[in-house]
Amino acid sequence: MILLYLMFLIIIIHFIYIFYKETKFKIIFTPILLFSGLMIFTYYTSIVSFDNISNNNLLPSFIIFIAYFSLNTGYKIFIKNNESTKKMTNQFKNKSYHDSVNYQKNYIYVIIPLALSLIIIGSVLYQGLPPTISNFSSIFRNGINLSDAIGITESRRELTKGHYFGGEYTGQGLLRTVLRIGWSYTLCLTFIIFYRTKSKTIFRKETLLFIVVFILSFVYITGDGTRGPFVELLIHLAIAFSFMGTIRFKHIILGVIVTFSLLIFLSINSMKMFNFLGNDGFIISAINSIIERIVIGNSINDIRAINYINNGQLSFQFGRIHLVQLLNSIPGIQYDLPFSYTLGQLYGSGDTTYLSTTYVSIVYADFTILGIIILYSFLGIFIGKLQRYIYNMKKNSLNLTLIFFIIFRLAYIQTTGIIGAIITIIVFIVIHNMAVLFFKTLIRLSNGITANENTLHKKEILLVTNNNNLP
**114-126: pLDDT as tens digits:** 999 999 998 888 8
Residues 37 and 184 in one domain: no
What range defines the domain where residue 241 resides? 103-295
Closest C-alpha to 235, from 259, 269, 211, 265: 259
Last residue of a domain, one of 369, 392, 415: 392
Residues 139 and 269 in one domain: yes
Distance CA 6, CA 242 (A): 32
Residues 39 and 72 in one domain: yes
> CA dihedral defined by 118, 124, 130, 131, rounded to 10 degrees?
-160
* DSSP code string of 417-464: HHHHHHHHHHHHHHHHHHHHHHHHHHHHH-S---HHHHHHHHHHHHHH
pLDDT above 80: residue 417: yes
Decide: 432 and 185 in contact? Cβ < 8 Å.
Answer: yes
* 171 part of a folded domain: yes
* 226 part of a folded domain: yes
Residues 214 and 267 in one domain: yes
* 132 part of a folded domain: yes
Last residue of a domain, one of 362, 392, 422: 392
Residues 153 and 279 in one domain: yes
* 303 part of a folded domain: yes
pTM score of the predicted model: 0.83
Residues 61 and 138 in one domain: no
Residues 158 and 190 in one domain: yes
The predicted structure's pLDDT at residue 142 = 63
Residues 6+ apart with CB under 8 A from 148: 135, 138, 139, 269
Q: Once rounded to an integer, what is the mean pLDDT over residues 24-53?
A: 88
Last residue of a domain, one of 371, 392, 413: 392
Closest C-alpha to 405, from 470, 471, 320, 337: 470
Residues 387 and 246 in one domain: no
Residues 227 and 319 in one domain: no
Burial class (CB in 10 A: 0-12, 13-18, 19+), 284: exposed
Residue range 142-169, pLDDT digits in tens: 655 555 555 555 655 565 554 444 455 5
> CA dihedral defined by 357, 361, 367, 372, rounded to 10 degrees?
130
> How many domains does one find in the chain?
2
Strands (DSSP E) found in 162-230: none
Distance CA 104, CA 101 (A): 6
Residues 39 and 110 in one domain: no
Residues 276 and 197 in one domain: yes
* 373 part of a folded domain: yes
Residues 244 and 374 in one domain: no
* 448 part of a folded domain: no
The predicted structure's pLDDT at residue 37 = 92
The predicted structure's pLDDT at residue 119 = 93
